[in-house]
Amino acid sequence: MTLSVEMGVGNMISAAWQELVEAGAKEDGALPVDTWTIARTSGLVAGVLLFSTMMGLGQSTAVLVATVRATVQLSLLGVVLLPIFQHATWWVVSFYVLAMASVAAHSASQR
């Protein structure tokens, strides 16, 4: 799929959505994650934990916390972004952009 500026945002989103459906996405846009994919990613984390322990780096707890935190954050991000992809209208996108910019500005000002 080739995206271009001339396509317009709505057409680009429709084309991207069609590509997801062709790749096996469900009606809600979620791509199926099978047991093998989870096993491979878990194996990578286990490898990092094993390496950290064998080398005496003391990072095992930090790696576990980061893994759980990333999983939760990405899951929540998916829940937040799903309405944007389901209802690709300018006002929905504008609302989310404004909300995300506001949260980012608040977070930056607290540091």
Burial 42-59 (b: 16+ CB within 10 A, else e): eeeeeebbeebeeeeeee
Per-residue pLDDT of the chain (111 residues; tens, 9 = 90+): 454 555 566 666 677 666 666 666 666 656 677 788 888 888 999 999 999 999 999 998 999 999 999 989 988 888 888 777 777 778 878 888 899 899 999 999 997
